Structure 1
Amino acid sequence: MDTYDLIVIGAGPVGENVADRAVQSGLTAVIVESELVGGECSYWACMPSKGLLRPAAALRAARDIDGARQAVTGPIDPAGAFRRRDVLTHDWSDDGQVEWLRSAGIDLVRGQGRITGEREVTVTPPESPARTLRARHAVAVCTGTRAAVPDIPGLRDAHPWTSREATSAHEVPASLAIIGGGVVACEMATAYAGLGSRITMIVRSGLLGRVEPFAQDAVREALVQAGVDIRTGNTASVRRETDGAVVLTLDDGSTVRASEVLVATGRAPRTDDIGLDAAGCAPGDWLDVDDTMRVVGSDWLYAVGDVNHRALLTHQGKYQARAAGDVIAARATGATVDAAPWGRHAATADHDAVPQVVFTEPEIAAVGMTEAEARATGRDIRVLDNDLSGIAGAAAYADHYRGRARAVVDQKRGVLLGATFVGPDVGELLHAATIAVVGEVPLSRLWHAVPAYPTISEVWLRWLEQAGRATA
């Protein structure tokens, strides 16, 4: 069959969820994929990177406990870490994901998909004739992003690593230079330092620019303690020498020599070769969408996930996908579209309630607004800071627990605008804060959400005590 209700370009977790929601609502759907079903997150991003980060975190946890640290007799085994990573990526086989598509009633067409007309996608398989698919109702672009490689003299000729090479490598380079200071840069510095590589980071200004300053400071301190050399400035040029080493010259004239160089300076949309001009959009651009994920100016084209540049996170992309799949089905059947802020057809949490975990040592977990972002809105806010090491649950967790938590409160409304946690394994604390922010739960009600003792979640009680019972 070459005609479907919905055509999805891109079989990552976002595309899978768009198609699945539409099919569950009674539509027919096909996914077009040029690489592996499961996408970037499954094979080159979320899963393999966390697989590489986990051994160092587990080793740290053991060394933080008297009685356990005595059992640690050696360093991380890189070969074992890579084996575990390969298990998480299923050795880069998408057989299981393909079977899931089949069980969900979603068709798959492999090849490069390009929009060639209104509600029309032509697929060019690797070794087969082109095939034209037509959609009765919608085409959803879920092609995600690729690593952006800056225009630094000599960089491309040096064949740098991007996040893909970093997460799929099978050997630890003796030394690794990392250009960038964002999430990918900091996580890969953490992972490869733990695996035994000598790391140099070239950072234009600071690390992790969109998180609270105290969180940035904690990660910087931990990286330096792990032996990472952090240089501030710009990379002026790069060259690969005959012995295979990479030499980076910085704008201050100093040089960095490393076995490999990793570029982690941001992401670019994968929209340059999908026929966007046939839909009235500019190839290579991010796609502007409304809260139902429909491309502005179109009544049939949707852009879901990273490609719309709203929140470049897998969980946010899947959240968008659920809204998009439901709204496509609703519009196809003539049902009422509930696109109000709290409606199931709107992805409004992308605006000011985005949760994210940075899996460095220590972890950073944050949702909603930072203090600076909240103050910029003109709200009357109060900042509640707490040293997590003073909580009984932290003492039970580790001998020398170090961590900090901040809540940003809207004083007028008595609700939480944002929260940031820094410390070992604080990612598991985040969802409670996300519920409080998204649900706009009054602090007066949170007094009745009693945290269990002794857990680090008692930070909620400390925050409420700081806010004061009368204020809450």
Structure 2
Amino acid sequence: MTELQYDLIVLGAGPVGENVADYATKAGLKCVIVENELVGGDCSFWACIPSKALLRPPSARDAAQRVGGAREAVTGPLDVSAVLARRDYFVSDWDDSSSLPWLEGAGIDLVRGRGRLAGVRRVEVTTGNGEVVVLEARHAVAVCTGSDALIPNIPGLADVDPWTSRDATSVKDVPASLAIIGGGVVAAEMATAFVALGSEVTVIARSGLLSGLEEFAGDAVTKRLRSDGATVMHGSPVNVSRSGTGDVVIELDSGETVPASQVLVATGRTPRTKDLGLDSVGLTDGDWLSVDDSLRVQGVEGGWLYAAGDVNHRVLLTHQGKYQGRAAGTVIAARATAPETEAEPWGDLAASADSERVPSVIFSEPQVATVGLTAAAATQAGYRTRVVDYDLGAVSGAGLHADDYEGHARMVVDEDRGVALGVTFVGADVAELLHAATIAVVGEVPLSRLWHAVPAFPTMSEIWLRLLETYRFGE
């Protein structure tokens, strides 16, 4: 048994854990990361990077086909093998060796193996060869282990070996047909990808696609999927089985059946905290970890345990997890020298933007870019609001960007303060419009001041002028 001591122990070497360790190390702490899989985590190898690598080729093809003159030059189908090979390049063929020099250069140690808490500021790591390495933290332990796909308790589902998002993004052979259970981001993006790759896709979404967003977002993605040949249906699976021909057969509560070569489950996430040793510090293994704005886990005596990223269930998005990681690494280092340090809102030591000001992009066709509150959520939160809508296709820059451009923009305004609470863009390539909206929402920039932020002509950013004009003068 080997025993080592550090200032900070980080469980999980995904982008969240890397940021915690990096920021703490830059502030002078000696840090170690524990990882049982690949350094870089789900985002690099099974989520953000491979999914966007799969989605970009059909998006680029579609972009050309939307512009006269370029349209005529794009006449063939996607080269599926080339798409998959490009994906393999971006995930380094699931080899993390290229990530290791960064850790070494940053001065962060790595212990490979399965780590679990074994008491106050103590972690035991079982390595691949069975050796146990005991790590002691002088100041803190940060749990950054992420989340796993949730497999719902549908009779027969487990018996047909369903795909999760990991299987979909690492696909080697595209199935002839794919049934997707769920209606969230994974469902929308993977339906978009596999339709483009040639699968016959059926999406089974109980409440419709993207039901938590503005209604026009889900409607637009559903319309496009159907026009591309996919089936999008409402319903809840009540039984799953495998037919004599080998197909999966999904029975719905409506009595309908959906056959498919493969089924993908996209119904939510579950915390990766099972068998993490949380019971050794008074918590329950398998639970989400509740944290304050400084990412300190609540209910742990001494305040030495932190949790950042998916595992705390605040926002299950990589960029927000990295944001939390930066805050956690900074506050852990600050408290190492001044234990009573407080995390003030909107300072470096707090994750203040993890409730009403979260940006997100769904790389479906069309893209959906959102930040802040929807109209319904703002009303439910008690704000006095006004909703401003505008046809994005009517903006000069959009018409130049693509022939017959279709899109929509919505701004939700807090009437009492004259600031934007939320913005949603739907349309081709709207992802690049999002950060301006994020600055407006997070910075609570008065609309009277935004009036003087003049958008360049002719760009799609002119949508801001049209939204503000509509707010000022009406339709």
Quote the residue 1:54 is aligned against: 56
- Asked if the contact 2:140/2:305 (under 8 Å) is kept, the reply is yes
1:350 is paired with a residue of what secondary structure? coil
Q: Is the deviation greater in 80-89 or in 252-261? A: 252-261
2:162 is paired with a residue of what secondary structure? coil
**Match status 1:11 vs 2:13:** yes
- Asked if the contact 1:371/1:408 (under 8 Å) is kept, the reply is yes
Q: Deviations over 1:41-62 (max 9, x none)?
A: 0000000001111111111111
Whole-angstrom distance in 2 between the partners of 1:209 and 1:157? 29
Quote the residue 1:223 is aligned against: 225
**Match status 1:325 vs 2:329:** yes
2:88 is paired with a residue of what secondary structure? helix
Quote the residue 1:434 is aligned against: 438
Whole-angstrom distance in 1 between the partners of 2:240 and 2:173? 22
Whole-angstrom distance in 1 between the partners of 2:324 and 2:316? 11
Quote the residue 1:137 is aligned against: 139
Give matches, 1:267-286, under 5 Å.
Answer: 267-286=269-288
Q: Give % identity.
A: 61
Quote the residue 1:377 is aligned against: 381
Q: Deviations over 1:186-205 (max 9, x none)?
A: 10000000111000111112
- The letter for the 2-side match of 1:201 is V
Whole-angstrom distance in 2 between the partners of 1:378 and 1:293? 27
Whole-angstrom distance in 1 between the partners of 2:282 and 2:261? 45
Quote the residue 1:116 is aligned against: 118
Out of 443, 447, 452, the residue aligned to residue 451 of structure 2 is 447
- Asked if the contact 1:338/1:344 (under 8 Å) is kept, the reply is no
Whole-angstrom distance in 2 between the partners of 1:369 and 1:272? 32
**Match status 1:246 vs 2:248:** yes
Q: Aligned-residue CA RMSD in angstroms?
A: 1.2
Whole-angstrom distance in 2 between the partners of 1:452 and 1:60? 25
Out of 385, 392, 395, the residue aligned to residue 388 of structure 1 is 392
Tell me how far 1:242 sits from its aligned partner.
4.6
Whole-angstrom distance in 2 between the partners of 1:338 and 1:344? 11
TM-score by length of 1: 0.98
Tell me how far 1:251 sits from its aligned partner.
1.6
- Asked if the contact 2:144/2:311 (under 8 Å) is kept, the reply is yes
Whole-angstrom distance in 2 between the partners of 1:405 and 1:411? 18
- The letter for the 1-side match of 2:259 is R
Whole-angstrom distance in 2 between the partners of 1:231 and 1:73? 31
Out of 205, 208, 214, the residue aligned to residue 206 of structure 1 is 208
Whole-angstrom distance in 2 between the partners of 1:117 and 1:242? 52
**Match status 1:40 vs 2:51:** no
1:444 is paired with a residue of what secondary structure? helix
Q: Deviations over 1:20-56 (max 9, x none)?
A: 0000000000000000000000000000001111111
Tell me how far 1:128 sits from its aligned partner.
3.6
Structure 2: tracts of 5 or more residues without a match? none
**Match status 1:66 vs 2:68:** yes
Quote the residue 1:457 is aligned against: 461
Tell me how far 1:249 sits from its aligned partner.
1.3
2:93 is paired with a residue of what secondary structure? helix
- Asked if the contact 1:178/1:200 (under 8 Å) is kept, the reply is yes
Tell me how far 1:338 sits from its aligned partner.
4.8
Whole-angstrom distance in 2 between the partners of 1:218 and 1:370? 16
- The letter for the 2-side match of 1:261 is V
1:117 is paired with a residue of what secondary structure? coil
Whole-angstrom distance in 2 between the partners of 1:379 and 1:249? 42
Tell me how far 1:210 sits from its aligned partner.
1.3
Structure 1: tracts of 5 or more residues without a match? none
- Asked if the contact 1:337/1:345 (under 8 Å) is kept, the reply is no
Tell me how far 1:252 sits from its aligned partner.
2.0
- The letter for the 2-side match of 1:398 is A
Quote the residue 1:411 is aligned against: 415
Whole-angstrom distance in 1 between the partners of 2:464 and 2:206? 36
Tell me how far 1:379 sits from its aligned partner.
2.0
Whole-angstrom distance in 1 between the partners of 2:93 and 2:79? 19
Tell me how far 1:337 sits from its aligned partner.
3.0
- Asked if the contact 2:208/2:233 (under 8 Å) is kept, the reply is no
